[in-house]
């Protein structure tokens, strides 16, 4: 085993089921040794493993051991987001950083669509009614809407945003998007999507669904000014990163009837306090930052990570590299 290269997998306690850890050990490619180190492990243990690592894999946590990662040939993140990392420091150290290459895109996209439908059909209200022995029936009929023919406005048209467009097309919705990059016409045609300015998207869309990374440009972009430009009948969906949205401004927009509802999977603080002002509203559906996690997603994450490590081991450039 001593001549095998080491893959060190860093993860936050409770974020990876034991079944997935077992699968990772079973699937590790020939010629590699896989070692897991949990966030609760001692600094000495963790840093010792990082120092010996030829390849680093990370999920659900930051990374403060770059000073000892002298052998690492890649830092492979299993999430789409990488906001917990100092990318400039990795670049200076000469270590490529790659995200999951869209492995969780179908899962997050499905969740975003589910939130849209749940808000539109007041699913929690009806679900809880039956559990509380109340037959609500058609009481809320005039408050509910269809996805068909609505404009789904997507903020950020990367892999997840495109998957949202693909599914929305299946519901016969109209798709529009904002992205700071001019997207090729062939891509727009493929997803039957119209590119707009941010302001135009806010003003014309029935649903705004955010799928941007968290960075200096996107932090707080969904704020009072943004919500004020939305239709009073529109709903807001957040499955990217919590700090993209100013929660106080969202709560105020809901209180004042500036927008009609919201579906929220991500929060400014996580875990979010139990007294979060978004809770307890019949026009808001909330989930605990789990949009990107299914057993199917985990299989794709591991497949992509091991494949990317093999690429680097053979002298090729990694896929989905962030800091080229």
Write the CA distances from 321 to 54, 152, 270, integer angstroms: 17, 29, 27
| Strand 32-38 versus strand 55-59 pairing type | unpaired
Is 270 part of the annotated catalytic residue set?
A: yes
- Indicate the helix (H) or strand (E) that contains 61: none
If you search the block for the tokens 């990059």, which residue do you land on?
A: 181
Catalytic residue among 134, 270, 316, 317: 270
The single residue of 61, 219, 289, 311 carrying the catalytic annotation is 289
* 3-state DSSP assignment of residue 194: strand
In angstroms, rounded to a whole number, what is the distance separating the alpha carbons of residues 257 and 251? 10
Q: Is 289 a catalytic residue?
A: yes
Catalytic residue among 111, 145, 211, 241: 241
Structure tokens at 185: 């016409």
Is 148 catalytic? The answer is no
d(CA 72, CA 3): 16
Q: In the chain, where does DSSP find H-type helix? A: 18-27, 43-52, 87-93, 105-120, 123-131, 159-170, 185-190, 198-204, 224-229, 247-255, 295-313
Q: Which residues contact 45 (CB under 8 A, 6 or more apart)?
A: 37
Using CA atoms, how far apart are residues 70 and 56, in angstroms rounded to an integer?
11
Catalytic positions: 241, 270, 289
């Amino acid at each position: 085993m001593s001549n095998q290269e080491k893959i060190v997998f860093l993860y936050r306690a409770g974020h990876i089921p034991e079944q997935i850890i077992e699968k990772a050990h079973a699937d590790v490619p020939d010629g590699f040794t896989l070692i897991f180190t949990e966030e609760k492990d001692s600094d000495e243990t963790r840093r010792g493993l990082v120092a010996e690592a030829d390849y680093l894999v990370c999920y659900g946590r930051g990374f403060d051991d770059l000073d000892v990662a002298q052998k690492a040939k890649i830092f492979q993140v299993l999430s789409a987001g990488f906001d917990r990392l100092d990318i400039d420091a990795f670049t200076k150290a000469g270590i490529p950083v790659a995200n999951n290459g869209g492995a969780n895109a179908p899962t997050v996209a499905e969740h975003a669509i589910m939130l849209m439908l749940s808000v539109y059909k007041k699913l929690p209200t009806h679900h809880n009614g039956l559990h509380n022995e109340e037959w609500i029936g058609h009481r809320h009929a005039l408050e509910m809407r269809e996805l068909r023919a609505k404009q789904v406005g997507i903020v950020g048209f990367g892999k997840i945003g495109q998957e949202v467009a693909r599914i929305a097309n299946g519901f016969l919705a109209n798709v529009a998007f904002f992205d700071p990059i001019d997207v090729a016409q062939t891509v727009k045609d493929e997803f039957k999507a119209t590119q707009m300015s941010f302001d135009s998207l806010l003003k014309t869309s029935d649903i705004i669904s955010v799928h941007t990374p968290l960075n200096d440009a996107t932090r707080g972009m969904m704020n009072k000014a943004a919500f004020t430009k939305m239709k009073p009948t529109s709903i807001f969906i957040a499955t990217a990163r919590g700090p993209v949205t100013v929660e106080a401004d969202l709560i105020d927009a809901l209180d004042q009837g500036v927008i009609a509802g919201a579906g929220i999977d991500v929060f400014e603080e996580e875990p979010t306090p139990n007294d979060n002002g978004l809770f307890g509203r019949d026009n808001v559906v909330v989930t605990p930052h789990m949009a990107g996690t299914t057993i199917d997603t985990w299989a794709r994450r591991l497949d992509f990570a091991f494949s990317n490590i093999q690429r680097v081991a053979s002298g090729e450039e990694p896929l989905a590299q962030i800091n080229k």
